[in-house]
Amino acid sequence: MPVNGVGSCTAGAEKTLSTDAAARAACDLRGVQGIGMCDGPPAVFTTAQLLGTGMSRAQLRTQLTAGVLERRRRGVYTGAGSCPDASAVAAHGGRLACVSAARHLGLWVLTADVRTHVWLCDGQRTYHPDACECVEHWDDGPLGAPGTTPSMPRLLLQIARCQGIEEFFVVLESAMRRGMLDEQGRRWLSRRGNADVHEALSLARDDADSGLESLLRWRLRHLRLPVRTQQRVVGVGTVDALIGDRLLIETDGVDNHDGASHRHKDLVRDANAAIWGFVTLRFDYAMIVHDWPLVEAAIRGALATLAQTTGRGLAPNRKPPRATRR
């Protein structure tokens, strides 16, 4: 039975859901850097849609024979080479939902959940076997074509109910950065969200440069530290986060910091920062997502050391270069 608007099917029969799970999982890390899972919208078509473009039934059969289109169930097709989630939704019935839809829209997604999330409304039915791996999201939203996704507020609410508040906050800031959530959408979420959603909405900003930065700010909120993101520091450049006056935090995603040349640039930046009295801490994806106690302990320790050396808490013992919002 659905819980909070989210239900799930159990263990797997559709081949694409198991054989392509690794490929979907590999997309999660790229999603942290703001790279979506797919290059375009889900290519899911109904017979009526195809005929409505002027295609004849004979041409439709030709496209199927040539492999340009693939039949997923009666009257529903996908383009050749469609991603596993689009193919699974076409076979299952409904539309992409939750984190599956977020990936398709190019939003930051941190979860390792590789199941296909499907949005179903009253009056719809499923076509997959009972043992499929799809996660069903049932709600009272409007019906729509198979290739469409929920509105951004509804998608975010699905994520909050299904994946939890941290995933919600990461996707929320990604949507805000890309201008995909307006004030009306925020009010819609506020009316339907719980206390955690309200807190996330009040904290969210549109200047985060990656999902790791968003997660860092969310997990540090209870420490009530002065955290400023995307600050430009003279002599150093733009840093991911500045805590207080002296502690620089860099969140190193794989795409931006792998390789000897990137490593050298990072070391040069850190050395320049040290000249001006800054302390730099660097954390990668695995540390922030999977080893947070170590990250928090390192930040606490660095702040304690700075407090001892300056004698004035977070304030420096000499004026550092100006830090400004990028």
Where in the chain are the domains?
6-43+82-177, 211-325
Cβ atoms within 10 A of the Cβ of 180, count? Answer: 16
- Each residue's pLDDT, cut to its tens digit, for the chain (326 residues) gives 343 344 433 323 222 323 343 334 333 333 333 333 454 445 788 888 889 989 999 999 998 999 888 888 888 888 887 778 888 888 888 888 999 999 988 999 988 888 889 888 766 677 766 667 888 888 877 777 777 788 999 999 999 999 999 999 999 999 999 999 999 999 999 999 999 999 999 999 998 888 999 999 999 999 999 998 888 988 888 999 999 999 999 998 655 545 677 788 888 888 989 998 899 999 999 999 999 999 999 999 999 999 887 654 454 444 555 555 55
| H-assigned helices in 204-322 | 211-220, 254-257, 260-275, 285-290, 292-310
**pLDDT per residue as tens digits for the range 9-42:** 332 322 232 334 333 433 333 333 333 345 444 5
pTM: 0.76
Domain 211-325 in CATH 3.40.960.10? The answer is yes
- What are the Cα distances from residue 280, in Å, to 165, 209, 321, 324? 28, 18, 15, 17
| Tokens read off for 8 | 């799930």
> d(Cα 147, Cα 57) in Å, to the nearest integer?
21
